[in-house]
Structure 1
């Protein structure tokens, strides 16, 4: 994806080239903010990852109040990270380390900027309904028939899918289960339908996620450690990010958001609200958390 370029002048006679060059310089300067940052900003948002959508929508609202022209571009991780290395995207706020997105950072990290972690409580999970007759992944294979012999996953290109396929399934002998991958919304739809009907269900999930507040579910214990330890959620900028956005770079380096705050924002956006125009929802949340929000750009 190439960011749209503004065409400031067209059909100009050759005689006006010198004057237009000066005008072009003025236009470029006009697109810089008083704080030294470039005005237009493109945030890459991973499809289906609600904490990243929430954080991106929050920063979009905050930065637009500061005069930035912010665009959110949804993409899967691979094209998002590739786009950061070529400055097609400016920043992504949802990199999980040291496990989930490690392959992408190994491949693209030399041409990106790590702006630090803003949440330290991230973890990949396998979740089941709260009243399921098992409490551990070690019990799932022997009780697969109680779950329709199915494990419901999310996007095939996600880090969670890779960990599930390469680590969890072989570690616990789950090869005979039908492991389906589609999308996070599809997984959540199946989770809701099963819990509403009082049926057993097993899904790949993660924390922090609003589903843990919305549905009666529990995390299966992982005695083999196949899902890895708790992770941190980092912001990564493009190779030119600190040069193009010196002020925003500092804000994002200082950005922290604990899980309780994140849950409340996610609940407002994805559970209590049924729609995709998050602007008014985020504005209401900001009004309820104004002191915290003001601190992000202080």
Structure 2
């Protein structure tokens, strides 16, 4: 009788708490409508999809804050709960080390793009087609690879895999930012000069500049990867509705490249993306509507 009385009181208290807090028996976002999204600096597919989801979620009544950060602070932020989710985690290779370190404090919300790849690219008219040919043609490229951010997974893969595998240890891997790399790529291709850059697919640079990927016969850059969304621990419980939408998110290369091209190539007002995304949504309304169905 004592146990039954205790259970009855506990059940009544739980039911009362649900009424007082306005909660229902199923998980919902309730009044928690603010989301902080981590965006990798310089990774255009992540920037594009983050702005897309910002617009979609704000249309659904959420307040969305985008925070631009490098890889290490982004994963730290999600694992510590300071950020809610990110759209641009590459697996199984590029961000493997971060997932090994922080994965048990994060939620994998699934993959939205499965044709991603790290690449080393050169100008389209360069007289080589393989990474295996680079070392013997150092003079053509000034023994220099133009890279992106120093903390990027692509930079690490180039330093630890590509350079030792293909005898490029003496080459200078110039790290700065993705924007600087693209500036140099444009300048070189406009001038008809040779250049080697670290790049990746998906990226609008392939449609904007005359470039080609170098073959990777030793597989130093790994096979094709998938791009995942990751949330903080407990995200699906706290934001069940949004988590469901994100888990069902998919985007074709054609749609992604079109959005990226408008944001980063055709855009004369750098960093001002809201109006461009708004117009893109209007032009692709059926697809955008499907994201929250």
TM-score by length of 2: 0.90
Question: Which blocks of at least 5 consecutive residues in structure 1 are unaligned?
Answer: 1-24
Question: Which blocks of at least 5 consecutive residues in structure 2 are unaligned?
Answer: 1-19
Q: 1:149-160, aligned counterparts within 5 Å?
A: 149-160=143-154
Q: 1:76-225, aligned counterparts within 5 Å?
A: 76-225=70-219
- Which whole-Å deviations, capped at 9, do the CAs of 1:93-112 have from their partners, x for residues lacking one? 10000000000000000010
Q: Say if 2:29 and 2:238, in contact at 8 Å, map to a contact too.
A: no
TM-superposed deviation, 1:173: 0.3
Inter-partner Cα distance in structure 2 for 1:246 and 1:179:
43
Name the residue aligned to 1:271.
265
Q: Say if 1:37 and 1:246, in contact at 8 Å, map to a contact too.
A: no
| Deviation larger for 37-46 or 197-206 | 37-46
Name the residue aligned to 1:10.
none
Inter-partner Cα distance in structure 1 for 2:143 and 2:104:
42
Does 2:39 align with 1:48?
Answer: no
Inter-partner Cα distance in structure 2 for 1:135 and 1:37:
56
- Which whole-Å deviations, capped at 9, do the CAs of 1:177-211 have from their partners, x for residues lacking one? 11110100000000000000000000000000000
Name the residue aligned to 2:291.
296
Name the residue aligned to 1:8.
none
Name the residue aligned to 1:235.
229
Inter-partner Cα distance in structure 2 for 1:126 and 1:85:
31
Query: Equivalent residue of 1:114, what SS?
Result: strand
Query: Equivalent residue of 1:209, what SS?
Result: coil
| Deviation larger for 170-179 or 214-223 | 170-179
Query: Equivalent residue of 1:257, what SS?
Result: coil
Inter-partner Cα distance in structure 2 for 1:277 and 1:213:
21
Inter-partner Cα distance in structure 2 for 1:277 and 1:223:
40
TM-superposed deviation, 1:244: 1.4
Q: Say if 1:37 and 1:245, in contact at 8 Å, map to a contact too.
A: no
Name the residue aligned to 1:12.
none
Inter-partner Cα distance in structure 1 for 2:287 and 2:29:
21
Does 2:245 align with 1:280?
Answer: no
Name the residue aligned to 2:251.
257
Query: Equivalent residue of 1:233, what SS?
Result: strand
- Which whole-Å deviations, capped at 9, do the CAs of 1:47-98 have from their partners, x for residues lacking one? 0100000000000011111110000001111111111111100001100000
Does 2:69 align with 1:75?
Answer: yes
- Which whole-Å deviations, capped at 9, do the CAs of 1:204-255 have from their partners, x for residues lacking one? 0000000000000000000000000000000000012112110000000000
Say what the alpha-carbon RMSD is for the aligned residues. Answer: 1.6
Q: Say if 2:40 and 2:46, in contact at 8 Å, map to a contact too.
A: yes
Inter-partner Cα distance in structure 2 for 1:280 and 1:65:
14
Query: Equivalent residue of 1:163, what SS?
Result: helix
Query: Equivalent residue of 1:74, what SS?
Result: strand
Residue-pair matches, total: 270
